[in-house]
Structure 1
Amino acid sequence: MKALSGLSNKITIKQNDLIKETYIYVDKYLDRANEIKVYEQLNQMNLDFLIVPFNWEFIDNKMMSKTKYYEGAITLHETHICVNKMKAIIKLISKIHNLELVDIKAFDPKGFLDFFIQNTKKCLFDLSEFKPKVESIIKSYWDDKTKPVFSHNDLVKGNFINYKKGWKVIDFEYGMYNHYLFDYASFISESLNKKRWNVFINMLNLTSKELSKLHDLIYYQNYLWIYWASYMFEQTSEQIFVEITKEKIANLTN
């Protein structure tokens, strides 16, 4: 059995299956029941641009899922994110947003952030100067009256898989309905070097109002993931989470 790295799950490869075992401290903030509803519906759709588990069960209060393992596939970690790849990512996000799922929860920006604030003994950075703006962003989250769309909500480089010259999206643990700009903000803040942000943003052809909302969501996510990484560091003592907070604080301050 081959082991792979995973920040939120224990991951192993057995035969042709990728097996994920959840961690208890991650289960505390992820809604596994909602996650299963997402998998059930996406499996029925049989979409060629998504890779989702085909089997899942709970063993000793931990969720175990099986996904087909693609030997030789690469992620965005192993390649330069050029303009053509950015165009492909935009198309993938648009396809995800056009999916219609039922009885799936909506993202709660305040509630999700509050979990990490309340369950972290000490944030790795003092975020007090950023707090008023984040509170304002949360308060006005839906002020534009936009219709929520089904969203991935965690578009890190490792969640894009290229297999046989086709990009696919994996890992819908955070899959919920959300603001349509959240996924674009997620990809920008999670997967792009800050020097490349404007290249991607210009390709979205946003109005000035949409652009302002996008930057607010980027700001919120960087703040959120600092608290998330601080929580994860307290649970695991793994240095990678300290490095994540350094990257996110740089995004907020530079």
Structure 2
Amino acid sequence: MEKNTYIGLTNKIKVKNDLIIKNYKIKKNDYLDKKNEFEVLNVLKSIDQNVIIKAEKMVLKKTKLISYFKILEGYLNLSNVEIEDFHVRKVTELINSFHKIKDERINSLKQFNYKSTLDYFYKKIKKPFFNLDKYYKNIVLKIDTVKGLKKVLSHNDLVPGNIMFKDDDFILIDYDFITLNDKFFDYASFITETLNDNEENIKIFINQLIKKRMILLDKSELDKLNFVIKYQDLLWTLWANYMYENKGDEIYKEIYSNKFDRLKNRKPITF
């Protein structure tokens, strides 16, 4: 894999010898829980699994988390290719394998909180690009839709760059957002972050989830998935606004524009 493929929006990333080194400076009241990430890194390093790349080494200090990973030689990520049926099917299997990872230590990891995560960005933005109050209120009114659902180990950030593959070997990277969460969050994440507006690929993905061989999604659960998709469109719109305010990088304006367009225009998934 080419060195310039490694681009981080939240971490400083450098390549040294055969290692990728991720360096994150922890800030007061940070939206990323690096203590939880450190625990996740430790747990998944010690488990016999080939779903997500294992850290070679990690160091947590009071103000910094540094993690070291071997370079995946010859691997691409989904931002390097035009996504087709094959990729969607393999990612469906990958998500399912990730959700099936079991270990008693996983139960002590942080649980995702829909309301507090949304509020972090909604309440901290000082200069919103657009007034999102009506979208926020609509989401909060329906947030009980996902209350009390069964928890799995959830990646929570299935952007194309976090899904690596070589031939038919697919693997996840990035531990920034991993928590215990419901299964719908990763399904929605793959749709909102990677498949985006490609209705044909979304249809393929949904069909993979509901087919009898796997039965990962029941038709009666579609309302929950559509809610989480809407939630994520709002969450990442707010996140992009927040990041632009704090970082000033133009890429966050572009992300905001794309996310906001989908927030306004995305049609619910139907069977």
- Tell me whether the two structures share a fold, i.e. TM-score over 0.5: yes
1:156 and 1:124 map into 2 onto residues whose CA distance is 23
2:131 and 2:141 map into 1 onto residues whose CA distance is 18
Could you tell me which residue of structure 2 aligns to residue 169 of structure 1?
172
Q: State the Cα deviation string for residues 27-67 of structure 1 (Å, max 9, x = none).
A: 70111111111111111113222113221114571211111
Pairing partner for 1:139 from 144, 149, 174 = 144
Q: Does 1:187 align with 2:190?
A: yes
Could you tell me which residue of structure 2 aligns to residue 39 of structure 1?
41
**Worse-superposed segment, 5-14 or 200-209:** 200-209
> Percent of pairs identical after alignment?
34
Q: How far apart are 1:167 and its partner, in Å?
A: 0.9
Could you tell me which residue of structure 1 aligns to residue 63 of structure 2?
61
2:6 and 2:160 map into 1 onto residues whose CA distance is 15
Could you tell me which residue of structure 2 aligns to residue 148 of structure 1?
151
Q: Secondary structure at the match of 1:188?
A: helix
Could you tell me which residue of structure 2 aligns to residue 228 of structure 1?
239
Q: Secondary structure at the match of 1:71?
A: coil
Pairing partner for 2:84 from 82, 87, 96 = 82
Counterpart of 2:77, as a letter, is: T
1:2 and 1:127 map into 2 onto residues whose CA distance is 35
Q: Secondary structure at the match of 2:14?
A: strand
**Counterpart mapping for 1:179-218 below 5 A:** 179-196=182-199, 197-205=202-210, 206-218=217-229
Could you tell me which residue of structure 2 aligns to residue 16 of structure 1?
18
Contact 1:155 1:186 in 2 (8 A): yes
Counterpart of 2:193, as a letter, is: E
1:26 and 1:79 map into 2 onto residues whose CA distance is 38
Counterpart of 1:95, as a letter, is: S
Q: Secondary structure at the match of 2:133?
A: coil
Could you tell me which residue of structure 2 aligns to residue 50 of structure 1?
52
Change (3 A) 1:3 1:61: farther
**Worse-superposed segment, 18-27 or 68-77:** 18-27
Could you tell me which residue of structure 1 aligns to residue 252 of structure 2?
241
Q: Secondary structure at the match of 2:243?
A: helix
1:63 and 1:199 map into 2 onto residues whose CA distance is 38
| Ranges in structure 2 where 5+ consecutive residues have no aligned partner | 211-216, 266-271
Contact 2:26 2:65 in 1 (8 A): no
Counterpart of 2:165, as a letter, is: N
1:149 and 1:240 map into 2 onto residues whose CA distance is 32
Q: How far apart are 1:181 and its partner, in Å?
A: 1.0
Could you tell me which residue of structure 1 aligns to residue 161 of structure 2?
158
Pairing partner for 2:122 from 110, 117, 126 = 117
- The number of equivalent residue pairs is 252
Could you tell me which residue of structure 1 aligns to residue 97 of structure 2?
95
| Ranges in structure 1 where 5+ consecutive residues have no aligned partner | none
Q: How far apart are 1:26 and its partner, in Å?
A: 9.3
1:207 and 1:163 map into 2 onto residues whose CA distance is 31
Could you tell me which residue of structure 2 aligns to residue 105 of structure 1?
110
Could you tell me which residue of structure 2 aligns to residue 126 of structure 1?
131
Contact 1:137 1:220 in 2 (8 A): no
Q: How far apart are 1:211 and its partner, in Å?
A: 0.9
2:40 and 2:203 map into 1 onto residues whose CA distance is 32
Query: Could you state the TM-score of these two structures normalised by the residue count of structure 1?
Result: 0.92
Counterpart of 1:240, as a letter, is: I
Contact 1:12 1:19 in 2 (8 A): yes
Change (3 A) 1:26 1:171: farther
1:59 and 1:191 map into 2 onto residues whose CA distance is 33
1:3 and 1:231 map into 2 onto residues whose CA distance is 25
